[in-house]
Amino acid sequence: MKNNKKHKKTVFVWIVLFVLIAVFLLFPRAQYVKDGGSARYCSFCKGLIYEIDNYHSFYDEGGNIFYQVGCVIYIFGHEVYNNVHVDYSHLAVEKNDAEFNELDKEIESILFPTE
């Protein structure tokens, strides 16, 4: 009877120990990059088990600035998923300059009215 209780106790201790080690190994450590919002989530030892790179950064191409967005997933150092792409649609410099100039003129007309 005593041996059975001791066996249950050691099994319980091993299960708790295994769960704690699994949580430690798999719990992500977040690293944020100051490039517009990119983040990297790694397992222990700088991504030994897995690493997730979430890109949301600026991309400069020939003087034009665009967004680079997407996600890359590495498992044991091998890339298993990659959907990173450059979003050319909404951040072109010429488009933003025109919008900025229009808004700037509107703000100036409100702040400094000419009668």
Q: What is the pLDDT of residues 45-80, one digit of tens each?
A: 777 788 988 888 777 777 677 778 899 999 988 999
Q: Pick the more confident residue, 68 or 16.
A: 16
pLDDT band at 25 (very low <50, low <70, confident <90, very high): confident
pTM: 0.58
Bridge partner residues of 55 (DSSP): 70
Do residues 51 and 70 make contact, with C-beta atoms less than 8 angstroms apart? no
The yes-or-no verdict on residue 109 having pLDDT over 90 is no
Bridge partner residues of 111 (DSSP): none
What share of residues in the chain are helix, strand, coil (percent, to 5)? 40, 35, 25
The residue type found at 111 is L
Residue 62: the pLDDT is 73
Do residues 59 and 37 make contact, with C-beta atoms less than 8 angstroms apart? no
Q: Which residues contact 87 (CB under 8 A, 6 or more apart)?
A: 66, 67, 68, 69
Residue 70 CA from chain centroid, whole number: 9
